[in-house]
Structure 1
Amino acid sequence: MRAGSPRLLREINDRAAIEALLQRGAMTRSELEAIIGLSKPATAQLLTRLEQDGAVVRDGLRGGSRGPRAQLWAVNGGLAHVAAVDLTPSHADIVVADVTGAILVEHQAKLPTGGGPDVVLAFADAVREVVGRAGLTPARLCAIVVGSPGAVNPADGHLGFAPHLPGWEGFDMPGRLRELFDAPVTVENDVNLVALEEMAAGRATGVEDFVLLWLSLGIGSAVVINRRLLRGATGGAGEIDWMRVPDLATADTGIDRTGVRLGNLLGSPTVVKLARAHGLPARNAWTAVRKALASGEEGKPFLTDLARRIATGVAGVVSVVDPQLVLLAGETGQAGGEELCELVAAELHRLVVPRTPVAPTLVTGNPVRSGALHSALALAREKVFGLTAATAEPFRGSPRPA
């Protein structure tokens, strides 16, 4: 045991150095020394060892006002590459990056919308084309992570809860993609990836338990307990679109008050109807919310009715989980901002005992693709450097069925 201790210490120090360089970018020897706490000679030896192994490379010089310029060191991005994809019914948003997270190429490809086997082949061709622009083939990728609507059943790899994604149901989805790409592929629910991204770089960086509600054309949710995603026995945890709830809105939009699918209350088409009932015509839910906020007190009744619907949807989850935080995501949640969140919190507190705060998510852009990229990088860094994700659950994706 003692004979192996120096080697073990070297491995620990090497990983600490790699992790520091990945988090902060290129650094000088003295900067790295201060972070990992080694002596000057030990840090120099460490860098020499990592350079010989190909793990780090010299990355230019940093000039100072006085004295010689200092050598910069960086992780060798060419050691591994990953791809991340946000898959929707109409397109695939694809990004390829090296192991440092540097983006090499990104592209949004249109997909056929009629369903059938052609859509899977078109998707594979699109990924190959984008990966090819980076000078790679899918087989050379260390990890491919696909964010998809619905949920993949870990028992058989079949995609469920996604009738709006024709052509992707009835077969082992991750297994089929692995065959097409000859590379490691994992498929994760798109809203789960948004939650992972919020843990990595958003409002949930220091939160152990939270619920994220996605409000857009449709709805979805993710539940995180002890910084681990709750996926459920069939992968369908968080698929609250199908949950039946009453409509507590005061305005009548023809919704059955005794119980209806939550997706029929909070999807964009029905939110547009609710806005029109309050005299706010709009083409989609997030436009209606922005109009209501801009109109001040005149828009408050619509926002309050919308908040009642949202609170009704998350009340059961909050009662069971008692999370630290509820996050509103998606175009509608982002449009509502803090004001809509305050209204939702007030309505939620009338329905449940926990006084859970409600807040909008912080991550902007395409959080599904960003979450997929963070997850792919976590997989690649574990394979190449032995690092485990410190900001969220290490991403495993959907395993190949037995």
Structure 2
Amino acid sequence: MDRIAITGGAPLRGTIPIYGAKNSALKLQAAALLSADPLILENMPDLADTRFMAQLLASLGVEITWIKETRTLRMHAAEISSTIAPYDQVRKMRASFNVLGPLLARVGHATVSLPGGCAIGARPVDLHLKAFEAMGADIVIEQGYVKAAALRGLKGAEIEFPFVSVGATEHAMLAATLAHGETVLKNVAREPEIIDLADCLNAMGARIEGAGTGEIHIRGVTSLKGATHSVVADRIEAGTFALAAAAAGGNVLLQGARFDHLQALIKVLRGAGVEVDAEARGLRVKRNGGRIQPVSFETEPFPGFPTDLQAQAMALLCLAEGQSRIRETIFENRFMHAPELARLGAQIAVHGNEAVVTGVEALKGAPVMATDLRASVSLVIAGLAAEGETVVNRVYHLDRGFEKLEPKLAACGAQIQRLKVEQ
């Protein structure tokens, strides 16, 4: 297993390009199943998760052409050769479950493994399945597999989610594009990735209105065509590098980052005493001298503070001149990074879904262990600001969501390198 070694204390100066959003790209990949024509995705992130999804699609009959030099992925599902997504594929990544809806909509049946457990808490798929049942699908769960059928096609329905769910919103959107009649989705997620998916589907010939609001209307069509779509910039990657620049100090331009997608984070950063400004090419983050100020926040669905930036923000607030409070309202069990940050000298007290962070003047380098994707990058951020060397173990988590993390940071002056570990 690879490790990442960081010698802290070097400010970050330069430009970091922000790639396409992982959370959007995975659902856009699933959309390729809806059309017999090619779907071409530009600004495509090359990550462990997107590669897993490509492998799964290939096993279903999708012809995959990935041109890494131009960050372009071409997917052509002329024929669906299989409607079975086995456990060995789906267990690697929860988002692969999202092939169920497109297969059901286009072919009329599918057998997809239930996703495996998740380190950051339960993320049930019952909302997804209830939405498909509302659209007329017959669903049976046997031996860990979802067997779904709608042999006469899905039908439009009015579906109100009991709570906001990004995954269920996206999955229902995918399936409803080919349903007979109109589907109305209420109490839906409003994330930029929802809008990105709607834009792509509409370019393929879907009729979707209301993405980005609390209610989405989808009038089903008989078939979708091919399209070329550029994946929206990854706001989580952009936010992560913004927090890294804030913790290490310096002056960084996040090229391609969207100011309008990061309002909640920008409020926290400015409250902490960090300069953040929109520029024509992206977002500039500056901190030169002065202690970080304490800031309290809670995670919320968009446009609130994203849960996927909570761990990274905690790493920054470990250096604050005072006490900060963080409430996690999206996922249970998402403070597993706190004990590892404590190994660097952080003072964090966790009480249920709230963490109290009492800032210290300096963190000290130490060996630490990554527990999940976002937790692992929070340890990298802390290591950038710590005195001495920090070694982050189990960094395979990082490769699921960050492409070229070390080279991007090193290009801005960070003393960071990946250590290959012999098996």
> Shorter-chain-normalised TM-score: which range?
under 0.3
- Return the TM-score normalized by structure 2: 0.25
- Structure number with larger C-alpha Rg: 1
- Return the TM-score normalized by structure 1: 0.26
